[in-house]
Amino acid sequence: MSEALHPPPSSTVYLRVNYSDVDRMGLLHHAAYLRYFERCREEFSRRRGASYAEMEDNGWLIVVVDATVKYRLPARFDEVLAIEVRLVSVGHAALRFEYDVRREGSHTVIATAMTRHAFVDRDGRVRRIEQDLHDMFHRPEQVTRRGEVG
Amino acid sequence: MSEALHPPPSSTVYLRVNYSDVDRMGLLHHAAYLRYFERCREEFSRRRGASYAEMEDNGWLIVVVDATVKYRLPARFDEVLAIEVRLVSVGHAALRFEYDVRREGSHTVIATAMTRHAFVDRDGRVRRIEQDLHDMFHRPEQVTRRGEVG
Amino acid sequence: MSEALHPPPSSTVYLRVNYSDVDRMGLLHHAAYLRYFERCREEFSRRRGASYAEMEDNGWLIVVVDATVKYRLPARFDEVLAIEVRLVSVGHAALRFEYDVRREGSHTVIATAMTRHAFVDRDGRVRRIEQDLHDMFHRPEQVTRRGEVG
Amino acid sequence: MSEALHPPPSSTVYLRVNYSDVDRMGLLHHAAYLRYFERCREEFSRRRGASYAEMEDNGWLIVVVDATVKYRLPARFDEVLAIEVRLVSVGHAALRFEYDVRREGSHTVIATAMTRHAFVDRDGRVRRIEQDLHDMFHRPEQVTRRGEVG
């Protein structure tokens, strides 16, 4: 059973398209989007006082269960992307994030995506999400100078 | 309109999980799967006498339109993966591939995926897929020593 | 013949160690440093009003001729690195950058590096560096909100 | 004190330049070479009955101490590279590898490189290389079907 969040907690993270991530056509390589989304989730947690690194050190491993990306328009080298990441639902052991990618300063959504995540322990067994993690996700975000580009 | 292919042309490509692609948990990073699938599509074409490189040089750019990956079980550093890639449909301007990932020597599917692709010209306009490309995909595969691991 | 620059123009760029760049030991993968340095050079140029993207579009391709990295202490997931990039010499057709990597807020240098670059045209022929490029590198840096982390 | 090896044990590994590793110029990205060399070292060990994965599982962590790459000529998308990796010296706690990169079927060396490695334990302390590891490196290589491209 999963709880849909209304409105979903969200963060907008600005990431620049790096040279090593563009392909022969000069476009952001399609696999790189998943890495950029991961950076957005890290920042989403960081702004709410949590840290992937600490969670892992405490034995909370987060695995990606599935991922879907829809690429509508290309992102080019050196562009700054404004990626809105939303936590749309939280279940007993799973999280679901959604993403809208825009070029900074533009309203046009150039890509959308969804990822689902499960919490497991070091032996790969599913772990229930504890209350304090639930609480964490509902905290208002704190944007610090630690943010990415922007 | 797209034509479903029965049976779909398929290839099995063996790829080893490299150190630089595993994460802190020692598991193949979820974004790396899309790069591995791309290597499988390159090999799929190569075995049928076509080459991504030549297609691009001839102004046929192939863009990924959407991608979905379902991660069931992890892939670990140094394991050899047997990835079956199938071309399941060909439309006027689009292709759809599906993938089953197994560990070599095992029947268990540890991940499945789908990617859709469009052909565009250098200005990003959709191009119709020409007959000789259709023909190419129906040729029997030729596995040469040029294959990946295996 | 190359001209050594005293003092060399320099920029400090803050980059966070991303999850997808750490290895099984939780440390920044050694190959990722070269990509991080590339981001620093992009930012170095950007702060002086130049852009890699534009240079390439104008037919100025920059190729890496050699690179050396000395890894003294590891960088860990989620740490912010303060990377000082210096343009130490400019020749007729070549540039040389040096790098000091520190953890943000620390004086300890955890890695040093050097990269050399040549300018070539689309056919791979070496191009002389023009005066306006020389001038560009001597402009004072402008740090804008477009910077990376920090 | 380190022992130079005459002749150095060597392996030639064939790797294909993948699409996701080429840059906007269609050339193998300079940072990707270090990842390709890592795959060569993995294969070098594998052919001598050792495995990075096992070494790490046994608490032998191998860290890269320094790396130098000289890029003479570009490698292009879809080319197969023949990379000769040689273990040139073994010290109490360090290894040194050298590399020559050629295009398959050509004698021209398009890149050379050197990497140095130290063995450390899980706490980052340097470990002495034990005799059985020395022995391992002197075993003749066994090329199995587990090789990479070729």
Q: Does D76 touch chain C (CB under 8 A)?
A: no
Chain B residue with minimal CA distance to A30?
B64
| Per-residue model confidence (pLDDT) at position B150 | 40
Helix boundaries (H) for chain D: 32-46, 52-57, 131-138
Q: Which residues contact D58 (CB under 8 A, 6 or more apart)?
A: none
Lowest pLDDT segment from A86-90, B40-44, D132-136: D132-136
Q: What angle do CA C31, C33, C38 make, to 5 degrees?
A: 110
Query: Mean pLDDT: which of A16-30, A54-68, C105-119 is highest?
Result: C105-119
Spell out which residues of chain A touch residue D27, defining contact as CB-CB under 8 Å: none
- C80: tokens are 């912010």
Q: Does A80 touch chain B (CB under 8 A)?
A: no
Rounded Cα distance between C42 and A18, Å, is: 9
| Per-residue model confidence (pLDDT) at position A50 | 81
Helix, strand, coil tally for chain D in percent (to 5) = 20, 40, 40
| Per-residue model confidence (pLDDT) at position A92 | 81
CATH architecture of D2-138: Roll (3.10)
Q: What are B128-150's pLDDT values in tens digits?
A: 877 777 777 778 888 765 445 54
Chain C residue with minimal CA distance to A35?
C20
| Per-residue model confidence (pLDDT) at position C26 | 86
Above pLDDT 90, what percent of chain B? 55
Amino acid at C147: G
Do D136 and D119 meet the contact criterion of CB atoms below 8 Å apart? no
| Per-residue model confidence (pLDDT) at position B15 | 94
Distance from CA of A112 to the nearest CA of B (A): 10
Q: Residue B6: how many CB atoms within 10 A of its CB? A: 6
Mean pLDDT of B41-66: 86
Lowest pLDDT segment from A7-21, B59-73, B104-118, D113-127: D113-127
Whether residues B22 and C23 touch (CB distance < 8 A) is answered with: yes
Locate tokens 């002197």: which residue? Answer: D138
Above pLDDT 90, what percent of chain A? 55
What is the phi/psi pair of residue C106, to 5°?
-120, 150
Locate tokens 């897929």: which residue? Answer: B129
Q: Does D18 touch chain A (CB under 8 A)?
A: no
From the list D47, D48, D40, the residue with the least C-alpha distance to D143 is D47
Mean pLDDT score of chain D: 87
- Better pLDDT: A32 or D119: A32
- Better pLDDT: D52 or A37: A37
The conformational region for residue A30 under phi > 0 = left, psi -120 to 50 = alpha, else beta, is alpha
Do B10 and B87 meet the contact criterion of CB atoms below 8 Å apart? yes
Whether residues B149 and D150 touch (CB distance < 8 A) is answered with: no
Mean pLDDT of D84-91: 93
CA B8 to centroid of chain Cα atoms:
13
- Is the confidence metric ipTM above 0.95 for this complex? no
Read off the pLDDT band of D120 (50, 70, 90): confident
What is the phi/psi pair of residue A42, to 5°?
-60, -45
Domain boundaries, chain B: 2-138
Read off the pLDDT band of B43 (50, 70, 90): very high
Read off the pLDDT band of D121 (50, 70, 90): confident
Q: Which residues contact C13 (CB under 8 A, 6 or more apart)?
A: C39, C40, C43, C44, C82, C83, C85, C147, C148, C150
Spell out which residues of chain B touch residue D16, defining contact as CB-CB under 8 Å: 146, 148
Q: Can you list the positions of beta strands (E) in chain B?
A: 2-4, 10-16, 61-71, 80-91, 94-103, 109-120
Lowest pLDDT segment from A71-75, C104-108, C115-119, D90-94: D90-94
Locate tokens 């010290």: which residue? Answer: D91
- Ranges in chain C, pLDDT < 50: 146-147, 150
| Per-residue model confidence (pLDDT) at position B141 | 87
Read off the pLDDT band of A12 (50, 70, 90): very high
Do D89 and D4 meet the contact criterion of CB atoms below 8 Å apart? yes
Q: Which residues contact B6 (CB under 8 A, 6 or more apart)?
A: none
| Per-residue model confidence (pLDDT) at position D145 | 53
Read off the pLDDT band of A79 (50, 70, 90): very high
Rounded Cα distance between D64 and C43, Å, is: 27
| Per-residue model confidence (pLDDT) at position C150 | 40
| Per-residue model confidence (pLDDT) at position B145 | 53
| Per-residue model confidence (pLDDT) at position D56 | 77
Is the model's pLDDT at D143 over the cut of 80? no
What is the phi/psi pair of residue A128, to 5°?
-75, 145
Q: Which of D20, D25, D29 to mutate to test the interface with A (most CBs of A within 10 A)?
A: D20
